Amino acid sequence: MPEFLRPYVLTFIPIFVAVDALGNIPLFVSLTHSLNKKQKQRVIRESLLTATVIAVSFMFLGKAILRVLNISVADFQIAGGILLLVISTNLLLAGKGRDSVLSKGSSEAGVFPLGTPLVTGPAVLTMILMVVDNFGWMPSLISLLLNMLIVWFTFRYADLFTALIGEAGMRAFSKIIYIFLAAIAVMMMRKGITGFLL
């Protein structure tokens, strides 16, 4: 791999795992099944705008917020790692963690729950802080925007994905993603603890 691509790949993958675009497809379909095409397109726009604004805002303001609250990066890594581990374990074992936010199909679902917490939730915000700290703003921002483009694509063609892969296939893929998310959570806790000890 060319050295200049390394930070982009190493920021893209953790954000991709945290966003879990394919895992959100069944939830998107459930929330929008009663909507017409125009309403679905509006929901997609609103969800992507909400998710992107929240994620980018946290990318640039996250550390300042932590400083105001007198929280160190190591504190956030440990807390975020524990939270990610709980979330990934719940999703992996129960498979119903995200279903609790579902409601009947609604044209107002773009902001909540799709935009947040499904696309940009605690896992994504924690991951953003980690990749910015390790690789800087530019690779992190580009990787985030590429992931949002993937989310748009999966939502736009959600019905096609469901027909091709099937709900069982998408759930199986999500299980694999949750295992990686748990591993990243352990890595974050390890880095946070190391930060305290050094």
Q: What is the pLDDT of residues 85-106, one digit of tens each?
A: 887 788 788 655 555 444 444 5
Q: How much is the pLDDT for 88? A: 79
Return the pLDDT at 76.
82
pLDDT at 107: 59
Q: What is the pLDDT of residue 152?
A: 98
pLDDT for 185 equals 85
Are 25 and 170 in contact by the 8 Å Cβ rule? The answer is: yes
Q: What is the pLDDT of residue 151?
A: 98
Instruction: Look up residue 124 and give its two tokens.
Output: 């994504």
pLDDT at 157: 95
Question: What confidence score (pLDDT) does residue 180 get?
Answer: 84
Regions of the chain with pLDDT less than 70? 94-108
pLDDT at 55: 98
pLDDT at position 101: 44
Q: Is 18 exposed, middle or buried (0-12, 13-18, 19+ CB in 10 A)?
A: buried
Q: Looking at residue 48, what is its pLDDT?
A: 98
Spatial separation of the C-alpha atoms in residues 154 and 51, rounded to whole Å: 15
